[in-house]
Structure 1
Amino acid sequence: MLNSLWCRRLAGLLLLWVAAFARADLSVDIVGGGANRYPLAVPAFAGEAAGDALTGIVRGDLALTGMVDLKPVPAGAIAADAAQLNAPVWRTLGAYAVLAGRMSTGAGGLTRVDYQLVQLAPRKVLAEGGYEVPPAALADAGHRIADAVYRALFGEPSFFLSRIAYVLKEGRGSYALQVSDVDGRNARTVLRSKEPIISPAWSPDGGRLAYVSFETGKPVVWVQDLGSGQRRVLANYRGSNSAPAWRPDGQALAVVLTTSGNSQIYLVGAGGGAPQRLTRSGAIDTEPDFSPDGSRIAFVSDRSGGPQVYVMPATGGEPQRISWQGSYNVSPRFSPDGKQLTYMRREGGRFRVVVHDLASNDARVVSDEVYGESPSFAPNGRMVLFASDAGARSVLWASSPDGTSKVRLGTVSGEVQDPAWGPARP
């Protein structure tokens, strides 16, 4: 019974219970928002050509947060800088601030982008700056401008400079491990295979991915450098090798091996070496995830009769059961501050995404969809990303940890599994 529960979970992964994800742009639909969203206007930048889409990137990033109320901008409205702003006109739209900007041709064929975030009353420049970038890097400039706006408004970093890893199914018997910006732009293929690829995991510095590939006919853990493309086997022991999770110092990974029979958690050096066993039970122990300080590991075990979430010291030892609601809780991931876990719970035939406060023990369901999988926190902890199959249309969702703000990322084409939110780029 216990093994059959877990086998169904694994079978679900291998059958690619997936949500659609675009390799092109993502559209953003706000389906829920916090009560105190900041009213902001983002008109087109002066000099912006129709195909540049710079302000579209900025608007899309800010919309993802659920914390900004983007006011409709009249057609043709442009604000190049603070001096050109007619504050009363913009205030009639309900905006508290306006992002003004200008695009021009810089030296050597580069594009110059300048911006000012202007508070209307009292009038004040909250943030300003500029970039000279190749035309192909305008998307990156847009993400950086959106990050500057977010920092000025909310006093903390955004997640706009982070990336997502996911596995894209491309027709029958073709799989691609891909990495993209958080809005789906700049997608590139890391690995193609005729066999399934699962469980991508980001290194703490964002430069490497660990993942499980079935290309040799069995699950094997690989580590691949995203810069050079070089990859190597990390774990290929007798039986199954799965569920890699990086230690925060990047020097070791937790992996799940079946060399002793049931799935157990081991520690393996990032450069290789003999695995060190961390769990010793007659149950299935799997899906490890390190706390941000490296002192704890969250994992899933069926030692209590069904798959539940536990936390143990990172060196092994007696685990503490965390999930007590429901008979099936899996896929735990720590928040960036280590104070919360997100995981997936089965309730009445539905798979719900839960955010669990470890201090209060409050466990809040943040997804209303029929199916939710692979939840992970944004680098700033403000959103939780998960895949969901909602009726005939499969989509990605991002929800605030309290469930009050939610955005749906509409997609164009493709099937994805195991989206993993990576660290922010410098």
Structure 2
Amino acid sequence: MLRVAKKYFSSVVSASLAVLSMASLSSSALAQMNIEITGVGQSLYPIAVMRFKDESKLPTSVTDIIRQDLARSGYFKNTENGNASESDEGTPNYKSWVARGADALTVGSVVQTSAGQFEIRYKLFDIRKSESLGGLNINSSADNLRAAAHKIADDIILKLLGERGIFSTRLSYVIKEGKRYRLVISDADGQNIRNAMNSGEPIISPSWSPDGKKVAYVSFEDRKPVIYVHELATGRRIALSNQKGNNSAPAWSPDGKKLAISLSKDGNTQIYSINADGTGLQRLTRGYTIDTEPQYSADGRYIYFTSDRGGNPQIYRMSAEGEQVDGAKRITFKQGFVTSPRISPDGKYLAYIANIGGAFRLYILNLATGDSQALTDGTSDESPSFAANGRYVLYSTKVGGKRVLAAVSVDGNSKQILSIPGSDVRQPSWGPFMD
């Protein structure tokens, strides 16, 4: 078992060196993501999202996107699925909506302000309390209607559930088609796909900066692995680390000033920190085994990482200043083979991949209690990534022999599969809130 574990762990480290060539971010006519909801929450909030008045003026249905967002959240059940509209002026008949089984009502309208420009108006009502919860007026071009709809869905989540919605965040993931790989950026629902890079080499491990404006990655374009930081808006990039040997596994600090990386410049792979401009390289671990996959804690005080220093891979934690400060503490104990640590934005949970009898499965660990549970029954899970609100984990898995993306709520109740017909989809990373 130890020999198998060592072999697999070495392949994980080697895979983290496979990379890409980055092109400037541009829109592209790409195959659209299919989404299949395979599980829902146990108690769904009944909401009526009425068809927005005069929506036929739009090239994209705002109503449908809002309904789809709320359904995917795992918290809502839409009680109105047809084309009926309701006025967004005045007060609704609360008693009538109570009788129709709705606890909340969303109404809206569309006004064309000029060629290709629209004002999207929406209002939200709490039916049980018989009160208005306000709304939004959003000016949008025809090209940004999806963003307007996601913003409305986020506002509904905030007003009804008291937490920030994640529909306006973005995803990055890799599409494999034949022998070509593409790193793409999309909306949180997998739609509105835009190319970020194309390569004949495998692409893995993109990492979002905390402000959502940059992506760090590793490129083999010069026949050796080099870590780059790429500014999405301008296409500008810098070589963050081009040390001797392997440069891999970049992960941003919460303040965006540093990255933790894995380097083999002094022999075996170890953890280092480096400033976001490529200066200030500092070695953080000094073991004789493999230390890799660093991830900063939510408060930036610690770094979690994967190490086989105990025999098989497990997750450890050390000071962000290095293990010389107070050593490295082992965090995972309940499974014999653990990789891919990811910390939730609130710092409460650790997601990871465990090998259970040859099946690689997504787990979540409550860092306060030490309790862990499997979030899936998969056999090929990899690359977990938390949503910005910490409520969901995005990961890659296999369905029908093809790699797809999947998302699961941290309680395991709400699940969905995101796939592109004819393509393998892998290496997801969920972007931060965009202010």
Give the TM-score category using the shorter length: over 0.9
Q: Distance in 2 between matches of 1:393 and 1:63?
A: 25
> In the aligned structure 2, how far is the partner of 1:5 from the partner of 1:398?
25
Q: Which residue of 2 aligns with 1:212?
A: 218
Q: Per-residue CA shift, 1:247-273, capped at 9, x if unaligned? A: 112111111000111110011111112
1:414 is displaced (CA, Å) by 2.7
How many aligned residue pairs are there?
Answer: 419
Give the SS at the match of 2:206.
strand
Structure 2 residue 7 is the aligned partner of structure 1 residue 7: no
Aligned-residue identity in percent:
41
1:131 aligns with 2:134: no
* Other structure's SS at 1:361 match: coil
Query: Residue 181 in 1 paired to residue 196 in 2?
Result: no
1:296 equivalent among 302, 308, 312: 302
Structure 1 residue aligned with 2:348: 339
TM-score (norm 1): 0.92
Structure 2 portions without partners, runs of 5+: 20-28
Question: By how many angstroms is 1:294 displaced?
Answer: 0.7
Decide whether the 8 Å contact of 1:23 with 1:184 is kept in 2.
Answer: no
User: Secondary structure in 2 aligned to 1:364?
Assistant: strand
AA partner of residue 180 (structure 1): S
Other structure's SS at 2:158 match = helix
In the TM superposition, what whole-angstrom CA distance separates every residue of 1:124-152 from its partner, at most 9, and x where no partner exists?
Answer: 11231111111111011001000110000
Partner of 2:169 in structure 1?
162
User: What is the aligned partner in structure 2 of residue 374 from structure 1?
Assistant: 383
Is 1:358 paired with 2:377? no
Query: Do the aligned residues in 1 keep the contact of 2:150 with 2:167 (CA within 8 Å)?
Result: yes
Aligned to 1:227: 233
The within-5 A match list for 1:2-401 is: 3-10=6-13, 23-49=30-56, 51-73=59-81, 75-81=82-88, 83=90, 85-107=92-114, 109-172=116-179, 174-317=180-323, 318-392=327-401, 394-401=403-410
C-alpha separation in 1, matches of 2:125 and 2:30? 34
**Structure 2 length as normaliser, TM-score?**
0.91
1:233 partner amino acid: A
For 2:247 and 2:145, locate their aligned partners in 1 and report how far apart those are by CA, in whole Å.
41
Give yes or no for contact 1:72–1:93 (8 Å, CA) kept in 2.
no
Give the Cα separation in 2 of the matches to 1:15 and 1:213.
7
Deviations 1:222-259 (A, max 9, x none): 11001110112111111111000111121111110001
Structure 1: gaps spanning 5 or more residues: 17-21
Q: Report the 3-state secondary structure (helix = DSSP H, G, I; strand = E; otherwise coil) of the residue aligned with 1:118.
A: strand
Classify 1:13/1:414 alpha carbon distance in 2 versus 1 (closer, same or farther; 3 Å).
farther
State the shift of 1:106 in Å. Answer: 1.3
1:407 matched to 2:413? The reply is: no
Question: CA 1:393–1:263 in 2, change beyond 3 Å: closer, same or farther?
Answer: closer
Q: 1:379-413: per-residue Cα shift (whole Å, max 9, x none)?
A: 01111111110234543221111212223335445
Distance 1:8 1:182, change over 3 A: same
Q: Distance in 2 between matches of 1:39 and 1:394?
A: 34
CA distance in 1, matches of 2:226, 2:42: 47
What is the identity, as a one-letter code, of the residue corresponding to 2:61? A
Quick one: distance in 2 between partners of 1:5 and 1:411? 28
Which of 413, 416, 420 matches 2:429? 420
For the Cα contact (< 8 Å) 1:197–1:214, is it kept in 2?
Answer: no
Q: In structure 1, how many angstroms separate the alpha carbons of the residues matched to 2:404 and 2:94?
A: 39
1:27 deviates by: 4.1
CA separation of 1:283 and 1:379: change in aligned 2, threshold 3 A: same
Name the Cα RMSD after superposition: 2.1
Structure-2 change in CA distance of 1:9 and 1:134 (3 Å): same
